[in-house]
Amino acid sequence: MPVEQQLTKHFKLSEFTRSKKAIDLGIDNTPSNDVIIRLTQLAEKVLEPLRAHFGLPVKITSGFRCPALNSKVGGSNTSQHLLGEAADIKIPGVPNVEVWKYIKDNLPYDQLIAEYLRQDDDTAGWVHVSLRAVKNRQEAKSCIGKGRYPMGLHFV
């Protein structure tokens, strides 16, 4: 059995690569070394500070996706998940809107997307955050429907 690779104090590689869909379909979602470097950067610069601020574990609901897995989940062929630059996250016990706002105001990011958040349900949706090594766009927006991404915070 392979040894679990620890990327940072609180984040393991398996948290970024696990996928029920990949297991069910027999897809090998193993990242390259370059992808692991980018996942580590995302964990160090965004997820660890986020965990420290809220004092709670950050749950990665989707991290790295190989091309075959990305296709099967309906991801964009330009998705930063393919590069190891993005994660979809939640912090159980913290409203997703608060997670989005904290990242927007305090942490580096390329794209920050409030995905399907609802005002009447703090647990609805998730937060997508990506980070590039250089030239981060600092785009903070919302996904309120298929292909609908207005800038700023919006609810469905």
> Which structural domain, as residue segments, surrounds residue 66?
13-109+121-136
Return the pLDDT at 73.
95
As for how many domains the chain has, the answer is: 1
Return the pLDDT at 2.
59
pLDDT in tens, the chain (156 residues): 456 899 999 999 999 999 999 999 999 999 999 999 999 999 999 999 999 999 999 999 999 999 999 999 999 999 999 999 999 999 999 999 999 999 999 999 999 999 999 999 999 999 999 999 999 999 999 999 988 999 999 999
| Any domain includes 49 | yes
| Any domain includes 84 | yes
| Any domain includes 66 | yes
Task: Considering only CA atoms, give the Rg of the chain.
Answer: 15
Query: Buried b vs exposed e over 128-146: b needs ≥16 C-beta within 10 Å?
Result: bbbbbeeeeeeebbbbbee
Gap between the Cα atoms of 69 and 128, Å rounded: 18
| Any domain includes 42 | yes
Query: For the domain that residue 68 is a member of, what is the CATH number?
Result: 3.30.1380.10
- Asked if 102 and 65 count as a contact pair (C-beta separation under 8 A), the reply is no
